[in-house]
Structure 1
Amino acid sequence: MPRELIAPAQEQAAFQEYESADLEKGQVRVKSLFAAAKHGTEMSQFKGYASPRGGFDRELRVFDYKGEGVKYPVRLGNIGVGEVVELGPGVTLLKEGDHVFNYGPFREEHIWPETVRTLPAGVPWQAAVCLDPADFALSAVRDGKVRIGDAVAVSGMGAISLLVLQFCRLAGAYPIIAVDPLENRRQAALACGADLVLDPNQCDAGVEIKKATGNRGTDVIIDYSGHPAALQQALRGIAYLGTVVCGAYPGAWPTGLDLGAEAHMNRPTIIFSRANSDPNPDHPNWNNDRIYEVCWRLLSEGQVDCKPIVHPIVPFADLAEEYPKIASHPEENIKLGAHF
């Protein structure tokens, strides 16, 4: 029987076997070749810090703080890439041997609809597994209204932010400043087009951002670290009447964030960005489908480079040991990938 990776309990990873089901009309069987995790969202489940918020009431749009927010076991992994090995009844859009990709956990075999995206020859698989987070990155850049010539700082050099850097470069921003305490992520930021990288543990990042922009500050700061210290530094480094985009989904913060001080004097606009919240801020011209289409065009054309982002890449058989290192060894991880 094929296997998949799950979290049977908080901060645990293990394999479980699952049934290889019969194909229904319009479905294809896909043998996995590659896959990747989505660190931010998956860590909220793996580490369990989404639990205290309870369920989300979609009518009232509030968390109820009741019950258990994370119910284990949870499947781990986000997007898979594979080869079509069997066609279900009525399938006309795909043929055996096609390479396709879709949302799905780390598992050896998937059953997907024939409407999944195909991976063209010559396009690296890393581009496919970066479609999400690319949608969030593009949305953050658009929500921040980054324009040609804008100075931009980005904090928290995970996969989303590394794509934010590249989208800002395409938008004509300069300089683009990356902020992260981890050396591996600062190096990835340089590979993805940052003009300057800062270690917030070794400098006053807000002051250095000001110095790098003629004491003016950046027009836009986009934070995907989800750390209160990063937002505090953003309030120090932002230009007068600039825009701070909060894109992360962190756990509850402790007290200590100072919303007087620079926040009061710099008067920034603070925006919370989330790609898949429709209607889009630019509705009706933009929606989640259009964001995906634009992202995939940029990814498949090679206008952004995803190879520095998907790291490390490990064998599927090692995932039960390697996956927990996303939490325990962030200095070794950016976006965990697997080959089968």
Structure 2
Amino acid sequence: MPKELIAVAPRQPELREYEDPPLKPGQVRIKSLLSAEKHGTTLPIYRGTSPVSEKVYDSKLGLFFPKKEATRGWTAKFPMPLGNMTVGIITEVGEGVENLKVGDRVFGHLPIRETHTVDAQAVHPAPPGISDEALVCVDPAMVALMGVREGNVRLGDKVAVFGAGAIGLMAVQMAKLSGAVFVAVVEPVSIRRELALHYGADLAIDPTREDPGVCIRKATGDKGVDVAIETSGAYPALHQAIRATAYGGTIVPVSFYSGEAKGLHLGEEWHFNRQVMVSGARVESEPYRDHPRWNRKRVEEVVLELFRSGKLTVEGILKPVVPIEQAVEAYRLIDEHPEESIKLGVTY
């Protein structure tokens, strides 16, 4: 029987067997080739520390409520599927499906699972010339693109990226593509700093050994950067992003923050330096500020074109990559030893 990776409770991953359901009209069945996880969003939910672990988000009101007070909305529940994006091959097509056929390579927001039976509109045809590895990184690339655009990074700007996971590594490349003349990266994990430098970062700072705010200001003539993009989800990193940003500059937090804001001190530099903090890098939160010219479809199309043209690379981002039989151990690794990983990939 096919297997899927799930969490049965906080920090308890399991491989579970399942049976494929009957194929309904309008659906397709997919055999997975490669899947990847979205560390920054899913790991806090997996750990039980995310805002949606304790509360419910009411999308109609745009507010969080304690679970006992909520009557509707999004909240974390176990067992929960693990994984964010999957590339696969269509093996069956249901009645009424016209745009897809058996043998087509497709991708979509699908969990770590050997097969998928989904509505045809849940997946997209994989463009020729774009690798499976790039396609499972479409999600972080879209978030990075939103962050760079929300920060209004322009030719000649100086930029700092906090966190060099998949989103941060994409943001480094996109900031350079946007014309940034200087890009600094702040990241405690050495393999991520090295990859950021390989991708074109001008400076890589280990925040456990150096003061990022001081280092970045010294590297920019004591002024600070024009734009800071915070991708790590750590409150101390957001505080350092504020410290590293010039007077009147822009800070873009793209992360899904969890827990109390320890290490974030808004009474310090934030109070004095008249900066702008921009929310809006969540891809699902539509309409966008530049609607109707930009929407989720256009963001995805731009990302795919950047991959196709070779202007954006994912070389080295998928680490570790394991067969599904080793997915439980690999998931524990990315949770307990983040210094050994960047973005989990699973093969079948």
Please tell me the TM-score bracket, short chain as reference. Answer: over 0.9
Please state how far the C-alpha of 1:97 moved relative to its aligned partner: 2.0
* C-alpha contact (below 8 Å) 1:243/1:270 kept by paired residues: yes
- Scaled by the length of structure 2, the TM-score of the pair is 0.93
The question of 1:217 aligning with 2:218 is answered no
* C-alpha contact (below 8 Å) 1:53/1:63 kept by paired residues: no
Secondary structure of the structure 2 residue equivalent to 1:264: helix
Secondary structure of the structure 2 residue equivalent to 1:176: strand
Answer with 222-231 or 108-117: which moved more: 108-117
- Equivalent of residue 279 in structure 1, options 274, 283, 287: 287
C-alpha change, 1:300 and 1:26, in structure 2 (3 Å) is farther
Q: Which ranges of structure 1 fall in alignment gaps of 5 or more residues?
A: none
- Equivalent of residue 80 in structure 1, options 75, 81, 86: 86
The question of 1:298 aligning with 2:306 is answered yes
Q: State the alpha-carbon separation in 1 of the partners of residues 324 and 170 from structure 2.
A: 25
* C-alpha contact (below 8 Å) 1:78/1:106 kept by paired residues: yes
Q: State the alpha-carbon separation in 2 of the partners of residues 339 and 128 from structure 1.
A: 14
* C-alpha contact (below 8 Å) 2:7/2:78 kept by paired residues: yes
1:35 aligned partner: 35
Q: Which ranges of structure 2 fall in alignment gaps of 5 or more residues?
A: none
1:329 aligned partner: 337
* C-alpha contact (below 8 Å) 1:185/1:334 kept by paired residues: yes
1:20 aligned partner: 20
1:266 aligned partner: 273
**Consecutive aligned runs of 4 or more in structure 1 exceeding 4 Å deviation:** none
2:159 aligned partner: 152
Please state how far the C-alpha of 1:255 moved relative to its aligned partner: 4.3
* C-alpha contact (below 8 Å) 1:310/1:335 kept by paired residues: yes
Q: State the alpha-carbon separation in 1 of the partners of residues 23 and 262 from structure 2.
A: 52
* C-alpha contact (below 8 Å) 2:34/2:346 kept by paired residues: yes
* C-alpha contact (below 8 Å) 1:232/1:257 kept by paired residues: yes
Answer with 72-81 or 207-216: which moved more: 207-216
* C-alpha contact (below 8 Å) 1:131/1:299 kept by paired residues: no
Q: State the alpha-carbon separation in 1 of the partners of residues 31 and 156 from structure 2.
A: 46
- CA displacement 1:218-260 (0-9 Å, x = unmatched): 0000001121211221122111100011111121224453222
Answer with 327-336 or 13-22: which moved more: 13-22
Q: Please give the residue correspondences for 1:1-340 in structure 2 after superposition, counting only pairs within 5 Å.
A: 1-50=1-50, 51=52, 53-67=54-68, 69-115=75-121, 116-273=123-280, 274-340=282-348
- State the aligned residue count: 340
- CA displacement 1:34-58 (0-9 Å, x = unmatched): 1101111111211011255411122
* C-alpha contact (below 8 Å) 2:87/2:135 kept by paired residues: yes
Secondary structure of the structure 2 residue equivalent to 1:326: helix
* C-alpha contact (below 8 Å) 1:45/1:74 kept by paired residues: no
* C-alpha contact (below 8 Å) 2:2/2:18 kept by paired residues: yes
* C-alpha contact (below 8 Å) 1:309/1:334 kept by paired residues: yes
- Scaled by the length of structure 1, the TM-score of the pair is 0.95
- CA displacement 1:93-133 (0-9 Å, x = unmatched): 23322211111111111123444322234321111001101
Q: State the alpha-carbon separation in 1 of the partners of residues 95 and 292 from structure 2.
A: 37
